[in-house]
């Protein structure tokens, strides 16, 4: 018997206890430091419990279990819903300090009807029989003005004709003017960004006309909720605004948003995707730094959890569901359950690559073309094909990370974007299981 190579054994932040997790067997336990030390020293003789929970394994049997779960993962993914992004233009009415699309080709020629027709023809045939939904992305998809509104109306009518749900990723500035237009289709979610309370948000997310945007966006959120349009409020986080997030949470709570079942939140990390950030990279937080700062901030501001519960790798899932998530063989959805298309007739893997020269995977207009070799590499990339991931103890929590980030770093699709899964679990288990703040105490679950 061996100590499973998929065991994650970590001290828990601010605790004398440790956590032992195995995503392949689906078990998680909080253990005493003394037991953890014995395990680290290889002292596990006669421990039936460790055997029963798959922490001690026969390597051959574990390999079979790994292969079985991998096949299950591939099967499930084949029937998963596909998210299809469409960019009606790259132009935007904001000039946010951190926008990664600044360098893109903002061709002024607007979206043509024949391109939109070709887009729907392409997805009708390519994704026939697959569950799917559409997401409007930009640039800013909800630009003011009647010609933009007409194009978005046409898009939504074509989606409705096919019974396809639509999500929208918007800066929220023109939401109020778009409420009636949005009602044309079934809207799954409007993702709107507020980067902090009013003064912080207004500093970071400035419309090109120089006017403050916070109150207009908040008004749009109120109107969406009043009209039964679900809102996903996103904050893009870096050193400049992290400490102001409790104030944003207070604002959302005071507006009654957090009590509304149509309202949810998300935190995005500001990171250097394609080009240098205005103000330099010094304001950017690494993934570990962001979660460390969030951990400290939540301890001082427990009300924040009413607004948002950060994932801390698998910790939040375990806390909310009482069991571990399925092993993550592939954390990147690009070309498997996600695609992105733009108004210039081009096809990309996802939102991180859409519009970026050198990342085009094909065209749907004027002709259909596909770079099959590159697409095959994207499809193939997971923890079984990236050499470093094969022996990595946190691979089933990490899933190989983001292909776009990995490729930016190494030039190779089959390369790593390492996620600090162990560190995040140390923090998350402490937050959700050892020292719950406003949340009730609970014991860690096994599946
Ligand atoms: S490349 Fe990155 S951003 Fe794009 S789908 Fe994969 S993980 Fe997501
Ligand atoms: S990307 Fe890095 S951390 Fe993630 S599974 Fe691969 S080697 Fe492990």
Rounded to a whole number, what is the largest CA-CA distance in the chain?
Answer: 74
Per-residue pLDDT at 383 exceeds 50? yes
Query: Would you tell me how many other CB atoms lie within 10 Å of the CB of residue 71?
Result: 10
Strand partners, 20: 9, 29
Write down the pLDDT at residue 107.
61
Question: How many Å apart are CA 347 and CA 371, to the nearest integer?
Answer: 10
Q: Which residues contact 35 (CB under 8 A, 6 or more apart)?
A: 18
Strands lying side by side in the sheet with 132-136 = 263-269, 231-237, 187-193, 166-170, 132-136, 82-87, 338-342, 346-348, 362-363, 369-370
334 within ligand 1 shell (Cβ under 6 A): yes
> Does 199 or 104 have the greater pLDDT score?
199
Mean pLDDT of 125-141: 96
Question: How many Å apart are CA 247 and CA 270, to the nearest integer?
Answer: 19
Mean pLDDT of 65-70: 98
398 within ligand 1 shell (Cβ under 6 A): no
Q: Taking the alpha carbons of 134, 135, 140, 141 in that order, is the dihedral positive or negative?
A: positive
Whole-number Å distance, alpha carbon 386 to ligand 2 midpoint, is 9
> Does 166 or 107 have the greater pLDDT score?
166
In this structure, what are the phi and psi dihedrals at residue 77, rounded to the nearest 5 degrees?
Answer: -65, -35
| 86-103: pLDDT as tens digits | 999 999 888 877 776 655
Query: Would you tell me how many other CB atoms lie within 10 Å of the CB of residue 226?
Result: 11
Q: Which residue has the tokens 């096949």?
A: 71
> Does 230 or 110 have the greater pLDDT score?
230
Question: How many Å apart are CA 225 and CA 212, to the nearest integer?
Answer: 22
Question: Given the CA of residue 398, which atom of ligand 2 is nearest to it?
Answer: 4
| 282-322: pLDDT as tens digits | 889 999 999 999 999 999 999 999 999 999 999 999 999 99
Mean pLDDT of 182-197: 97
Q: Which residues contact 235 (CB under 8 A, 6 or more apart)?
A: 193, 194, 195, 196, 241, 245, 248, 265, 266, 267, 268
Whole-number Å distance, alpha carbon 392 to ligand 1 midpoint, is 20
Residues in contact with ligand 2 (CB, 6 Å cut-off) = 383, 386, 388-389, 392, 394-395, 398, 400-401, 416-419
Tokens standing for 439? 């949340």
In this structure, what are the phi and psi dihedrals at residue 306, rounded to the nearest 5 degrees?
Answer: -70, -25
Write down the pLDDT at residue 228.
98
Mean pLDDT of 375-388: 98
Whole-number Å distance, alpha carbon 415 to ligand 1 midpoint, is 13
Strand partners, 31: 18
Provide the b/e sequence for 85-105 (b: ≥16 CB within 10 Å): bbbbbbbbbbebbbbbbeebe
Write down the pLDDT at residue 446.
40
396 pLDDT band, cuts 50/70/90, is very high
Strands lying side by side in the sheet with 18-22 = 7-11, 18-22, 27-31
Per-residue pLDDT at 445 exceeds 70? no
How many percent of the chain have pLDDT more than 90?
86
CA 45 to centroid of chain Cα atoms: 41
Helix axes 146-161, 175-182, angle to 10 degrees: 30
402 within ligand 1 shell (Cβ under 6 A): yes
Write down the pLDDT at residue 48.
87
Question: Given the CA of residue 393, which atom of ligand 2 is nearest to it?
Answer: 8
Per-residue pLDDT at 424 exceeds 90? yes
Question: Given the CA of residue 403, which atom of ligand 1 is nearest to it?
Answer: 1
403 within ligand 1 shell (Cβ under 6 A): yes
Q: Taking the alpha carbons of 190, 192, 198, 202 in that order, is the dihedral positive or negative?
A: negative
Whole-number Å distance, alpha carbon 84 to ligand 1 midpoint, is 13
Which of 268, 315, 308, 306 shows the shortest CA–CA distance to 287? Answer: 268
- The structure's pTM equals 0.93
Write down the pLDDT at residue 47.
81
333 within ligand 1 shell (Cβ under 6 A): yes
Which ligand is in closest contact with the Cα of 415?
2
Where are any strands of DSSP class E within 137-228?
A: 166-170, 187-193
45 pLDDT band, cuts 50/70/90, is confident
116 within ligand 1 shell (Cβ under 6 A): no
Query: Would you tell me how many other CB atoms lie within 10 Å of the CB of residue 212?
Result: 15
């Amino acid at each position: 018997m061996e100590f499973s190579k998929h065991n994650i054994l970590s001290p828990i932040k601010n605790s004398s206890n440790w956590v032992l997790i195995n995503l392949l067997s689906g078990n998680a336990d909080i253990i005493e430091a003394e037991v953890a030390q014995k395990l680290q020293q290889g002292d596990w003789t006669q421990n039936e419990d460790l055997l029963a929970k798959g922490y001690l394994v026969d390597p051959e049997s574990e390999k079979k279990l790994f292969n079985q779960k991998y096949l299950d993962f591939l099967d499930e993914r084949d029937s998963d819903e596909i998210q299809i992004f469409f960019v009606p233009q790259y132009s935007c009415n904001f000039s946010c300090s951190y926008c990664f699309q600044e360098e893109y080709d903002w061709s002024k020629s607007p979206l043509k009807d024949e391109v939109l027709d070709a887009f729907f023809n392409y997805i009708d045939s390519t994704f026939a029989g697959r569950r799917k939904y559409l997401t409007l992305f930009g640039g800013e998809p909800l630009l003011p003005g009647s010609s933009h509104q007409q194009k978005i109306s046409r898009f939504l009518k074509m989606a409705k004709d096919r019974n396809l749900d639509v999500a929208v990723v918007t800066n929220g500035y023109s939401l109020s003017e778009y409420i009636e237009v949005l009602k044309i289709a079934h809207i799954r979610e409007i993702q709107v960004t507020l980067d902090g309370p009013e003064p912080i948000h207004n500093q970071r997310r400035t419309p090109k006309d120089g006017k403050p945007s916070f109150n207009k966006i908040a008004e749009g959120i109120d109107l969406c909720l009043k009209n039964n349009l679900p809102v996903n409020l996103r904050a893009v986080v870096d050193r400049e605004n992290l400490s102001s997030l409790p104030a944003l949470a207070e604002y959302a709570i005071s507006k009654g948003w957090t009590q509304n079942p149509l309202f949810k939140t998300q935190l995005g990390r500001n990171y250097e995707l394609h080009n240098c950030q205005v103000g330099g990279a010094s304001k950017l937080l690494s993934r570990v730094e962001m979660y460390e700062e969030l951990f400290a901030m939540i301890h001082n501001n427990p009300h924040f959890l009413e607004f948002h519960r950060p994932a801390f790798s698998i910790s939040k899932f375990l806390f909310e569901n009482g069991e571990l998530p399925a092993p993550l063989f592939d954390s990147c959805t690009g070309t498997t359950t996600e695609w992105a298309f733009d108004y210039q007739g081009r096809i990309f893997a996802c939102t991180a690559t859409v519009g970026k020269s050198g990342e085009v995977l094909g065209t749907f207009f004027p002709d259909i073309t596909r770079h099959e070799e590159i697409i095959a590499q994207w499809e193939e990339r997971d923890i079984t094909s990236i050499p470093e991931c094969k022996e990595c103890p946190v691979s089933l929590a990490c899933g190989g990370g983001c292909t776009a980030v990995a490729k930016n770093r190494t030039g190779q699709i089959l390369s790593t974007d390492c996620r600090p899964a162990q560190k995040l679990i140390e923090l998350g288990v402490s937050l959700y299981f050892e020292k719950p703040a406003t949340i009730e105490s609970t014991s860690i679950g096994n599946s």
